[in-house]
C-alpha cells in the first residue's frame, strides 16, 4: 500500500511489529526489494523515501542528517507508531543513529548495515570526499552515475539503471548537498547515547565503507553486536540478502522482550 503526505513519501507492507527501513545515498525505498517480501511476513514494514530522494525528491534543503532524522520521526508521529525497530543502510544508517540518540523513545532496537559514524576516518575516505564532488560537477549526472557503478561491478544492469534514474531525478546542487552532509556529519558523539540493543552488519570486503567503520560503531555503542560476512561488499542488500535477513531476524528474535 502506498501513501503520500505533505512531507515524506513512503511505502508500507505487512503486519506485526513495526520495522522501519532507511535507504542509502542516492537511493529510494526500492533498494530493499530483495528483502521486503520476507520482512513483511513478520513485520509491519515502513519504508520512507528520505528527503530529496525517490518520491520525496520535491522536498528541498536542508539535507542534513538531523533534518532527515526529524523527517522520519514526524512520519512516525503521523502514523502513530512508537517505538519501532529501525534498520539503516549506508547513509540511512547514520540517520538511524541520529534518531536512536536524539529521539530515544522512538526506537526499540537498531540494525546498522554497511554504515558508519563518521565517513572521514581514513586518508582514502578524505580523498574520496574531495574527488567525488568534482566528478559530479564535471561529468553530469548520467556519466557520474556510471562512474559510481563502475566501482560496483557486482550490481546487475537493471538495478544499476534504477540507481541512475534516482540520481537523475535530483538536481545537481541537491545531489552535492546530500553528498556533503553524508560525508561530513559526525555521529561519533552520539554513539554513547544509543542505549537500545544494536546489531552492526558489515561486509569484510566493503570498499565504500571499510571495516574500521563497523568496528567503531560496535565499540562505540554499548552492548552492540557485530556480524560480518567476510566476502561481503557494500552491496550486501542485493548480493547477499539472505545474510541480511537471517542476521536481522536472529537479532530481533534474540532481543524480543
pLDDT tens-digit map of 129-138: 888 888 888 8
* Residue 77: predicted pLDDT: 93
Report CA torsion sign: 37, 155, 241, 206. negative
pLDDT tens, residue by residue, 155-177: 888 888 888 888 888 888 888 89
* Residue 6: predicted pLDDT: 46
**What is d(CA 227, CA 141) in angstroms, rounded to the nearest whole number?**
35
Q: How many CB atoms lie within 10 A of CB 165?
A: 13
In a domain, 138, yes or no: no
In a domain, 152, yes or no: no
In a domain, 74, yes or no: yes
Distance of CA 35 to the CA centre of its chain: 14
In a domain, 233, yes or no: yes
For 22, 108, 174, 187, the CA distances from 252, given in Å and listed in that order, are 17, 10, 36, 24
Among the ranges given (2-11, 14-23, 30-39), the one the predictor scored with the smallest mean pLDDT:
2-11
In a domain, 48, yes or no: yes
Domain of 217: which CATH number?
A: 3.40.50.1820
Is 5 exposed, middle or buried (CB count within 10 Å of its CB: 0-12, 13-18, 19+)?
exposed
**What is d(CA 243, CA 143) in angstroms, rounded to the nearest whole number?**
32
Q: Give the chain's domain count.
A: 1
In a domain, 148, yes or no: no
In a domain, 96, yes or no: yes
Give the domain range for residue 86. 2-119+187-254
In a domain, 161, yes or no: no
Amino acid at each position: 500500500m502506498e501513501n503520500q503526505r505533505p512531507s515524506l513519501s513512503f511505502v508500507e507492507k505487512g503486519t506485526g511489529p513495526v520495522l522501519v527501513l532507511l535507504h542509502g545515498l542516492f537511493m529510494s525505498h526500492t533498494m530493499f526489494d530483495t528483502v521486503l517480501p520476507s520482512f513483511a511476513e513478520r513485520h509491519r514494514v515502513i519504508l520512507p523515501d528520505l528527503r530529496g530522494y525517490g518520491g520525496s525528491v520535491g522536498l528541498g534543503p536542508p539535507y542534513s542528517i538531523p533534518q532527515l532524522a526529524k523527517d522520519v520521526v514526524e512520519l512516525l508521529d503521523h502514523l502513530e507508531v512508537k517505538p519501532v525497530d529501525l534498520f539503516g543502510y549506508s547513509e540511512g544508517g547514520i540517520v538511524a543513529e541520529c534518531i536512536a540518540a536524539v529521539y530515544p523513545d522512538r526506537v526499540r532496537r537498531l540494525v546498522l548495515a554497511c554504515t558508519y559514524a563518521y565517513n572521514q576516518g581514513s586518508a582514502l575516505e578524505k580523498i574520496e570526499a574531495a574527488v567525488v564532488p568534482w566528478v559530479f560537477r564535471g561529468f553530469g549526472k548520467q556519466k557520474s552515475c556510471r562512474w559510481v557503478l563502475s566501482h560496483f561491478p557486482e550490481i546487475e544492469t537493471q538495478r544499476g539503471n534504477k540507481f541512475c534514474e534516482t540520481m537523475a531525478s535530483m538536481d545537481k546542487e541537491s545531489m552535492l548537498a546530500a553528498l556533503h552532509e553524508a560525508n561530513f556529519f559526525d555521529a561519533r558523539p552520539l554513539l554513547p547515547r544509543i542505549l537500545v540493543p544494536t546489531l552492526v552488519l558489515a561486509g569484510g570486503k566493503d570498499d565504500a565503507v571499510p571495516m574500521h567503520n563497523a568496528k567503531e560503531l560496535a565499540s562505540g555503542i554499548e552492548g552492540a553486536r557485530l556480524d560480518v560476512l567476510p566476502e561481503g561488499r557494500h552491496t550486501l542488500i542485493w548480493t547477499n540478502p539472505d545474510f541480511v535477513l537471517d542476521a536481522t531476524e536472529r537479532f530481533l528474535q534474540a532481543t524480543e522482550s
